[in-house]
Chain A
Amino acid sequence: MLDIQVPDFLEPVVNTFRYAPLAIQVAMVFIIIASLGTLLAYYSILRSRYRGYQRDKKLAFLHPKIDNLIIEEVLTNPTLLKDDVPVAHVQLNLEPFQELPLHKKWAREVLTERIIHFRRNVRGNMGELLRNLYLQLELDKDTMKKMRSGHWEKKVQALVEFTSMDMSIADVTILPLTNSRNRELRAAARHAYIKLSKNEPFKFFDVVTEPLLMWDQVELFRIITTTQNIAIPNFARWITYSANKSVVSFCLKLVVHYNQLPAVPAIVKLLETKDHYLRADAINCLGKLRVPDAEDKLIVMYSSQPLHCQIEILKAVGRISSGRHVDFLKQEFLHSTDFDLRKNAAKSLVKNEWTAKQVLEELLATANAENLRILKHCMNPLIKY
């Protein structure tokens, strides 16, 4: 053992340690580690709370100032009232903004965030003028710097800022990122690409091999449906050729949103797919597009389908409401053994009410207690589902 000079008051502790069994030695070491660990934790809590407090204070000071400046200089800008001046060329009065500590990076960041917040509420001329402010204060330089950073978080932040500000970025910069191994970065790059690319915004649909998560779909859907001046392609292309099921399923939702009737043949073809989840999606899509021609095919395939596809078919017949298949619905309602099938058949009958009035009355008069309750359930306007 090494002979280290220990202070007198520690002598008994050291002696105890030296002659103690292993368990006690371990315990003694851990007492010290645990005490230090606890102290370190206290320090970290203190530090993080102090920092948070500082930040809140700064923001509380900065936000009202920024808001006032934006309102005075941008939102009440006289050029907004004139129709003939192209907003893109308006030079804003930047002088008042000097009262903000813009030489500090964090202040510029707060300002950018705030401009984005404003732009989430307002577009049109005011939106463009807010963009002018961002450019004329050269805040885009910060964004560009973040874009070149090695940290994925910074890159994502930059992409979000660029897309929010409608800034164009070169394809060569974004495209490689759309296949990044980092999920967040990849998603942000795709959004940016769709929104900002001048050429083929949907190009990555062709190459994406990983499944599009439900969350990704929500974000993509939002970007696609809210971007102006975007050329919407015929999504049938991917419904037919894409090997990625999530892309196909997502395209079906877009087809419904844009009511793309030319895609119908591709969707009908998709009914033959072996994946019954995808098939259910296709049936759902045909119903929402209200394609009467698809009805016959759906009814022919009905009996060989798994339950959830059968339910989708019943729903589709209700949505299409051509009135041609009231008998089919009636049969299902009366004779199906599954509760959900009967309920959905009844619902669709009610949706076909314009032609099935008589059938419904007849059923109301003759149905057994349970079926009667199902019918009344479906006919009650207070019940949604």
Chain B
Amino acid sequence: MSGILETLGRIYESTLFVYGMVLLLVYAMLALLSMLAVRRYAKRDNYHQLDILSSSPLAPGITILAPAFNEGLTIISNVRSLLTLNYPRFEIVLINDGSTDDTMQQLIEEFKMVTVDFAYNEKIRTQPVRKIYKSTDPAYSSLLVIDKINGKSKADATNAGINVASFNYFVCTDVDCILDKNTLLELIKPVMQEAHKRVIAVGATLRIANSCEFDEGVMTRMRPPKQLLPRFQEVEYIRSFVLGKMGWSYINCVPNVSGGLGLFDKEIAIRSGGYDHSSFGEDMELLTRMCRYAHDNHVNYSVRYIPKSLCWTEAPSTLKIFNRQRTRWARGLAQLMHAHFNMFLNPRYGKMGMIIFPFNFFFELLAPIIEFTGIIVYIVLAVMGKINWPYALLLLLFVYTYAIMITTISILWDQLTFRYYKTWKEVVYLCMTPFMEFLFYHPLIVIYALRGYYYFLTGKKSAWGNMQRQGFGKKK
């Protein structure tokens, strides 16, 4: 009996060791690839003047899709800031997803909107559209508002927007995200610079807006969040975008284009069926389906990321809302893995099947589970008095320092290329955050993820159906 247990223990131990080593190696590789990608981007970026595109008659048209649900407090200034984006050919489609406040009324009054007979073609099925509005003021001729019945998801609202979009590319964002004024120029650039591949999606770095200063939807001062929880998220975003996504982008293996901001090829998105309103991670789900569609139809595609921060979003600042968000994300991931499991290690899906999917499976989906079981085994061993404490502490210290190094490197890439933030104090503040991340922030993520998996397995009805950001603190 004890012999079997011992063997099992050995196997468990060595599997864990291999798992850990591979994970560390992957991160080292990402650090390297992201450096190459960011440097290449920064070097070329100097020579591509945006104002040439912003004044060109050859600029491809872009539709901006902004779903809104009860955004009465900020809707006007946010639409205004969208209207002043720097781009020669774009339209804004605002989707009022059955708001119960005065969002629609404010829009009608401020922008002189009237209902129009719009030839609505339901390419993707959504909840019924009540009315479509256009402005009588020619200054707002690029604005279109869809008033639809609440579909209980951002996906449903966005799909209605895709149905009316006139241009070949659409940019998907949240109406409460603050965009850089050159967002459209920056996002379309990778599409226009690709010679042989069809770029089906482009993403950019997202950041946390909590402590930044804004004036009527325009950012006037960038700052790392002062509160601890949002600051953890800022650090996490920098690592995930600048190091993770950029590294993957270098080998054309981007797993996800974030829902906060992304540009998509409309044709492929529609053919893949649009956003899935039953998904808890609709952004990643859509991209997976788009890649899958491209593979199935032999489209030589690529997904790109750019290291510039173009979008600032309000991060949850209380544990309750943060918990909801992460539980939801984890549940979305589990859903996605389940639905597309036949892509797993399937050579037919190229890098998608052989690299992205296995990585997500082993190191995103399984990581919280493995960590959790690891801790339990440790506790059991500790109780049984079978732990060699100096060695255990050394291993822990190793993981701790390594995690800090990786995070610091991603902050470094970000700083080297764009020198965000105004003072060095703010940067020091940010650099200190990783030291606490491992102890306070990371355990939370593991617990919330497990909760998400649990809900996925039990199929719990979500009580927070409307867009995930509902309940976030509103900014003035």
Contact = CB atoms under 8 A, between A and B. Distances in A.
A pairs with B:
yes
B207 to A, nearest CB: 17
B388 to A, nearest CB: 9
Given A38-B404, A49-B415, A380 B117 contact: yes
Q: Which of A16, A37, A45, A373 lies at the interface centre, i.e. has the most chain B CB atoms within 10 A of its CB?
A: A45
Interface in B46-70: 46-48, 52-53, 55-60
Interface residues of A, number: 53
Given A213-B193, A221-B57, A385 B48 contact: no
Contacts of B47: 156, 160, 184, 188
A45 B52 contact: no
Interface string A213-225: 1110111011000
A86 B284 CA distance: 64
Contacts of A378: 119
A45 B431 contact: yes
Contacts of A372: 117
A309 to B, nearest CB: 15
A122 to B, nearest CB: 15
Interface stretch (B134-142, B153-161, B464-472): B134-142
A222 B56 CA distance: 7
Given A44-B412, A45-B431, A49-B419, A382 B114 contact: yes
A238 to B, nearest CB: 17
B379 interface: no
A257 B121 CA distance: 33
Contact of A218 (B46, B56, B120, B412): B56
A221 B52 CA distance: 10
B402 A41 contact: no
B44 A184 contact: yes
Interface stretch (A3-11, A27-35, A312-320): A27-35
Contacts of B394: 16, 20, 24, 27-28, 31
A290 interface: no
Contacts of B398: 27-28, 30-31, 34
Contact of A373 (B114, B118, B134): B118
Given A38-B404, A41-B411, A44-B412, A339 B431 contact: no
A377 B116 CA distance: 7
B44 A383 contact: no
Given A34-B405, A45-B412, A218 B395 contact: no
Judged by DSSP, the binding face of A is helix
A383 B402 contact: no
B397 interface: yes
A34 B401 contact: yes
A31 B401 contact: yes
A376 B361 CA distance: 51
B355 to A, nearest CB: 25
B402 A215 contact: no
Interface in B110-141: 114, 116-121, 134-136, 141
Q: Which of B46, B411, B412 lies at the interface centre, i.e. has the most chain A CB atoms within 10 A of its CB?
A: B412
Interface string B179-204: 00000000001011111100000000
A210 interface: yes
Contact of B416 (A44, A218, A376, A380): A44
A372 B116 CA distance: 13
B91 interface: yes
A384 interface: yes
Contact of A37 (B142, B194, B405): B405
A211 interface: yes
A222 B52 contact: yes
B192 A221 contact: no
A382 B391 CA distance: 73
Contacts of B192: 213-215, 218
B427 interface: yes
Contact of A41 (B46, B91, B405): B405
B116 A383 contact: yes
Interface in A7-62: 16, 20-21, 23-24, 27-28, 30-31, 34-35, 37-38, 41-42, 44-46, 48-49, 52
A217 B59 CA distance: 10
B415 A34 contact: no
B378 interface: no
B385 interface: no
B136 A382 contact: yes
A67 interface: no
A82 B57 CA distance: 37
Contacts of B116: 377, 380, 382-383
Contacts of A16: 390, 394
A131 interface: no
Interface string A232-260: 00000000000000000000010001000
Q: Which of B56, B117, B136, B192 lies at the interface centre, i.e. has the most chain A CB atoms within 10 A of its CB?
A: B117
Interface string B376-400: 0000000000000011001101100
B409 interface: yes
B43 interface: yes
B17 interface: yes
Contact of A30 (B118, B391, B402, B431): B402
A337 to B, nearest CB: 13
A374 interface: yes
B166 interface: yes
B416 A48 contact: yes
A211 B195 CA distance: 7
Nearest to B49: A219
A160 B46 CA distance: 11
B48 A215 contact: yes
A153 interface: yes
Contact of A215 (B193, B408, B431): B193
A45 B136 CA distance: 52
Interface string A143-174: 00000000001001000100000000000000
Nearest to A225: B57
Interface string B267-281: 000000000000000
21 contacts: A16-B390, A23-B17, A23-B395, A24-B391, A24-B394, A27-B394, A27-B397, A30-B398, A31-B398, A38-B401, A45-B411, A52-B419, A211-B195, A213-B194, A213-B195, A214-B192, A219-B52, A340-B121, A343-B121, A373-B118, A383-B116
Interface of A: 16, 20-21, 23-24, 27-28, 30-31, 34-35, 37-38, 41-42, 44-46, 48-49, 52, 153, 156, 160, 184, 188, 210-211, 213-215, 217-219, 221-222, 253, 257, 339-340, 343, 370, 372-374, 376-378, 380, 382-385
Interface of B: 17, 43-44, 46-48, 52-53, 55-60, 91, 114, 116-121, 134-136, 141-142, 166-167, 189, 191-196, 390-391, 394-395, 397-398, 401-402, 404-405, 408-409, 411-412, 415-416, 419, 424, 427, 431
In the complex, the 9 A-B pairs of residues with the closest C-beta atoms, listed nearest first: A385-B166, A376-B117, A214-B192, A377-B119, A27-B398, A34-B401, A215-B192, A382-B134, A34-B405
